[in-house]
Structure 1
Amino acid sequence: MSRAARAVRPVLVGLAALLLAGVLWELVKVVVPDTGLHLGEASVLPRTDDVAMPHVWDVAARMLEPETGASGAPSVLVATLHAAWFTLGVSLVGWALGVVGGMVLAVLMQRWSLAESAVLPWVVLSQTVPLVALAPLVVGWGGRLQLGAFAWERWMSVALIASYLAFFPVAVGALRGLKSPTDAQVELFRASAAGWGRTLLSLRLPAAVPHLLPALRLAAATAVVGAIVAEVSTGTRGGIGRLIISYAQAASGDPAKPWAAIVGAAALGLLAAGVVGLLGAGLRRYRHAEVS
């Protein structure tokens, strides 16, 4: 397969997946009754009427219409793009913080087995704390932070919460990658009088790349999710999280409007993961390393 074909193939697969999702959406509307499917008093499938599940083409058409009835109001698509841009910036800050934190933890856990035994359970346990409970604590802590002229902005709380979700896949993926070299490879470096730092840079980090790239993409997607949830929980304006809440208030009379913002949020997650995936282009020679 040529290089051009390999570059185009993921795009075509992505477009086919979006088309399939739209077809399945419409198929559910055709098959499932408007009132949903019930077994006794239990609801098995949700409602599929036009209020709960508007047609795909209605959502697409609503994106091109003005956001409000006011004169000169931007279209829903433009408003969604502006909100997505804000959330993307905050998510990237959170992703960067999460990557740095995850890599530091992974290196420490690889270097000292005691650190792995002590820290890894807490790393896993940290992901069980719901963001809606964590967000007010972060906002309250940031509001009391005073460092000279430095002022803690609300978006910084959102970025910190996003990093909280992003660091976990990086820490776990990097740790697995750093421990992936065989004993024979490690012994070869020791026989060459290579210290721990040299072994880390020349052996363990290159070997970790096949494990780390998927973790970085997952971290990017989770950072977007964390940022959106944090925007809702902290009341941060300007992002797509608050836009979804704002549009949801008009769901009964304008059902396609909130779904347009939801589609924008999903596209934002795919974009963030795709941008991070471009990092693999510069690390192509390590990507085909054996992953056990």
Structure 2
Amino acid sequence: MAVGTLGAVLLGGLLWEGYKAVGDPDGSTLFGVRLLPRADDAAMPHLGEILGRLTEPELAGGEPVGLVVLRAAGFTLRAVAVGFAVAVLVGGLLAVLMQRFRVAERGLLPYVVLSQTVPLIALAPVIAGWGGQLSIGSRPWQPWMSVAVIATYLAFFPIAVGLLRGLQSPAPIAEELMRSYAATWWHTLLKLRLPAARPYLFPALRLAGAAAVVGAVVGEISTGTRGGIGRLVVEYAREATTDPAKVYAALLGAALLGLVVAGAVGLAELLLTPGRRASTR
């Protein structure tokens, strides 16, 4: 997995520099429609310039941009982790409920699918407004908690749908065998359905991890939450015309956040799937 990720990063870098070398500085248009982006230094700085900007101060006499980006990514990672954990819980419970009761599947699944059609940019301010009226015991609701709720909203869907498909995947003959042993529904779930759902669950978790990152970044932008990578992208974008490398430095932080989440899911899959562990030795 690490080799594949490194290869993808190197390929992306080669494509970036290759297009910058041969692309039109003004972009390619057809009938007035821009088909390819501009390849000038303002739109596409060299990768070396972007990486070098990470070591330079954000402001005169300030901290390096790379340190600021890492701190912002760490702030967003908290909301992503909480949102992803809650999404696993909510999505898992929904999947088990829909597998157990067919009427629940017919009643809930359409609404689970319909929930993903609501524009996130419209939903985020509503969630932030509701959160501002809540508290956890004596502790007031924090802005990053609203971001975590938005991440949960995007991430629970692939888990619920993927796990449901996995729980329904055992062959009828295997279910009949469990019934012949007088196995309860709970034992059938633990011994048959959950092991059979692993090939469906981990791809769903990878999708959910990516969705949680997207939800957190967009949530920070939509709600105006400060301290995270989403807000940093907006702040750096104001300097796009004079310091484009700085904008891409923030985008690298968001990409790094996605790689961290994907790596965590991959590590969990490696530890929890014996067959996959054996195949990597």
- What TM-score do you get using the length of structure 2 for normalisation? 0.95
Partner of 1:185 in structure 2? 174
Letter in 1 for 2:29: H
Partner of 1:16 in structure 2? 7
Q: Which moved more, 1:148-157 or 1:51-60?
A: 148-157
Letter in 2 for 1:85: G
Q: Is the 8 A contact 2:270 2:276 kept in 1?
A: no
The answer to whether the aligner puts 1:68 opposite 2:51 as a matched pair is no
Partner of 1:51 in structure 2? 42
Partner of 2:16 in structure 1? 25
1:122 Cα shift?
1.2
1:151 Cα shift?
1.2
Specify the SS of the correspondent of 2:29. Answer: strand
Query: What per-residue deviation string (whole Å, max 9, x for no partner) do you get for residues 133-157 of structure 1?
Result: 0101101111122465231111110
Q: Is the 8 A contact 2:73 2:257 kept in 1?
A: yes
Partner of 1:155 in structure 2? 144
1:27 Cα shift?
1.4
Q: Is the 8 A contact 1:210 1:287 kept in 2?
A: no
The answer to whether the aligner puts 1:260 opposite 2:249 as a matched pair is yes
Query: What per-residue deviation string (whole Å, max 9, x for no partner) do you get for residues 74-107 of structure 1?
Result: 1111111100111111100000010100001100
1:28 Cα shift?
1.4
The answer to whether the aligner puts 1:40 opposite 2:54 as a matched pair is no
Query: What per-residue deviation string (whole Å, max 9, x for no partner) do you get for residues 50-79 of structure 1?
Result: 10111111101111111111x2x1111111
Letter in 2 for 1:86: F
1:144–1:51 CA distance, 2 compared to 1 (3 A): same
Query: What per-residue deviation string (whole Å, max 9, x for no partner) do you get for residues 146-194 of structure 1?
Result: 4652311111100000001110110011001101111011011111111
> In 1, Cα distance between the equivalents of 2:159 and 2:98?
13
> In 2, Cα distance between the equivalents of 1:105 and 1:210?
18
1:147–1:11 CA distance, 2 compared to 1 (3 A): closer
1:154–1:77 CA distance, 2 compared to 1 (3 A): same
Match of 1:133 among 122, 125, 128: 122
Q: Is the 8 A contact 1:209 1:287 kept in 2?
A: no
Aligned length: 277
Query: What per-residue deviation string (whole Å, max 9, x for no partner) do you get for residues 189-215 of structure 1?
Result: 111111111111111111111111111
1:182–1:146 CA distance, 2 compared to 1 (3 A): same
Query: What per-residue deviation string (whole Å, max 9, x for no partner) do you get for residues 8-51 of structure 1?
Result: xx222221211110110111112221111111322222211110
TM-align CA RMSD: 1.4
Specify the SS of the correspondent of 1:246. Answer: helix
Consecutive unaligned residues in structure 1, runs of 5 or more: 1-9
Match of 1:81 among 67, 70, 93: 70
The answer to whether the aligner puts 1:124 opposite 2:116 as a matched pair is no
Q: Is the 8 A contact 2:76 2:217 kept in 1?
A: yes
Match of 1:95 among 84, 87, 91: 84
Identity, % of aligned pairs?
A: 56
1:121 Cα shift?
1.4
Partner of 1:113 in structure 2? 102
